[in-house]
Amino acid sequence: MRAQLLHDLVVIGRGLAHDVALRGGQSVAEVLALLLLGCAYLLGTFPSAHLFAGRRGVDPTRAGSGNPGATNVYRTVGRRSGLYVLAADAGKGAIAAGLGWVAISRSWALFCWAAVVLGHVLPITRRLRGGKGVATAGGGVCVLFPLVAVVDLLLFVVAARLSRTASLGSIVMAVASPILIWAFGGTGREMGVAVVISLLVLVRHEGNIRRLATGNEATWSGPGPGGDPDGSPG
């Protein structure tokens, strides 16, 4: 599954690089494309959960659910640290998308958005063991599709409150985002990139989906039977 997702991202990247090449010298365009891609990916690997939890002497990969995300830090370290991680992870997505947009075009911003989420979910600096990508993906949505971001947030709140599980809210957002982008008049390319990102997020929620299906997922009142005390975003 991970190999297929990486292949899909490479295919999208080649298409975007070709578009950039048409706007100027091919060699310059390729260098700029690779530089932006690398910067976005490396930005995604920034270990915000480790940074803020580590200041309190906690390793987020060894505490709670073991997920280096905002929810786990919130539960194991405290509210303030969890909110800091949430803001930092969302900021990574927003910065990467904005950088691609300003440097080249909106089309390239889409690929930078995918790259930063990939860096967060599969960081080469931590043996491809990253977070679940919800906050980072959400940061990119805020920049590229602000109306979709508003609806996503509402869906998250409704789903999470009704189920009393943060993970279901995140899963609903991941499924709904490509549909909402299409509903708001998004292009085929925008939908394609959104689908790839949603798949990344859903793959990282595999365990949550399995526990939701069996009724063992954690709720806000505490972990379910064998449940993961973490859901999302992360």
168-190 confidence digits (pLDDT tens): 999 999 999 999 999 999 999 99
Handedness of CA 188, 193, 195, 198 (dihedral sign): negative
Nearest in space to 195 (alpha carbons), one of 3, 16, 12: 12
Structure tokens at 46: 């920034």
Model pTM? Answer: 0.83
Q: Which of 1-15, 38-52, 198-212 has the lowest mean pLDDT?
A: 1-15
Each residue of 66-101: pLDDT tens digit? 888 888 898 889 889 999 999 999 999 999 999 999
Centre a 10 Å sphere on the Cβ of residue 96 and count the other Cβ atoms it contains: 32
Helices (H) and strands (E) in the chain, counts: 11, 0
